[in-house]
Amino acid sequence: MPPIPALASLPAHLRRDWKADFRVREMDESLALSDMKLRFGGSDLAGTVSIDRSGSRPRVEGKLKSDFVDIAFLRRGDVPRVVQQERSGTADGQVLNDEPIPLEWMKAVDASVEIDAKRLQATLFTYTDTLTRIELENGFLRVKAERGTIYGADTSAELQFDASTQPAKLSINVLARGADGDWSEPPFMAGQGDFDIQLTATGNSAAALMGSVSGQARVVVGEGTAQVGVLEQMVRTVGIKTLGVLLGEDKADVVPMNCFAANLTADAGVVKAEVLVLDTDKATVFGSGSFDLRKETWDLIFKPKPKQVTLTTAVPIHLGGTFRDPEVSAEKVGTLRKLAGIASLFVFPPAAVAGLVDFGAGDNQCVDLAAEGSKK
Helical spans, DSSP H, in the chain:
5-8, 81-84, 206-211, 228-234, 242-246, 333-340, 350-356, 365-374
- Amino acid, res. 280: T
Please give the Cα distance from 348 to 353 (Å, whole number).
7
Contacts 24+ apart (CB under 8 A), 299-307: 299/339, 299/340, 300/273, 301/331, 301/336, 301/339, 301/340, 301/345, 302/243, 302/246, 303/333, 303/345, 303/346, 304/246, 304/247, 306/248, 306/282, 307/281, 307/282, 307/283
47 compared with 16, residue with greater pLDDT: 47
What pLDDT, on a 0 to 100 scale, did the predictor assign at position 347? 58
- Amino acid, res. 31: L
C-beta of residue 306 within 8 angstroms of C-beta of residue 249: no
C-beta of residue 161 within 8 angstroms of C-beta of residue 135: no
Q: What is the mean pLDDT of the chain?
A: 79
DSSP assignment of 14-34: GTTT-EEEEEEEEETTEEEEE
82 compared with 214, residue with greater pLDDT: 214
Q: How far is CA 262 from CA 45, 194, 230, 290, in A?
A: 38, 11, 19, 12
pLDDT digit string (tens) for 137-157? 999 999 999 888 887 788 889
Cα separation of the two ends of the chain: 71
Please give the Cα distance from 361 to 176 (Å, whole number).
13
Q: 134, 65, 77: which is closest to 106 by C-alpha? A: 134
- The secondary structure of the chain in percent helix, strand, coil, rounded to multiples of 5, reads 15, 50, 35
Please give the Cα distance from 370 to 274 (Å, whole number).
10
Q: 138, 137, 149, 148: which is closest to 113 by C-alpha? A: 137
C-beta of residue 15 within 8 angstroms of C-beta of residue 7: yes
Q: Could you give the percent of the chain with pLDDT greater than 70? A: 72
Per-residue b or e along 135-160, where b marks 16 or more CB atoms closer than 10 Å to that residue's CB: ebeebbbbbebeebbbbebebebebb
Checking phi first, is residue 345 left (phi over 0); if not, alpha (psi -120 to 50) or beta? alpha
Length of the chain: 376
The pTM assigned to this predicted structure is: 0.80
Please give the Cα distance from 119 to 66 (Å, whole number).
8
In this predicted structure, the answer to whether residue 174 has a pLDDT above a threshold of 50 is yes
Confidence bin at 304 (pLDDT 50/70/90): confident
pLDDT digit string (tens) for 252-291? 677 888 999 999 999 999 999 999 998 988 888 889 999 9
Around 335, how many Cα atoms within 13 Å sit in the side-chain half-sphere? 11
What pLDDT, on a 0 to 100 scale, did the predictor assign at position 187? 61
pLDDT digit string (tens) for 107-121? 999 999 999 999 988
Contacts 24+ apart (CB under 8 A), 97-101: 97/205, 97/206, 97/207, 98/205, 98/206, 98/207, 98/208, 99/205, 100/204, 100/205, 101/11, 101/73, 101/74, 101/76, 101/168, 101/204, 101/205, 101/206
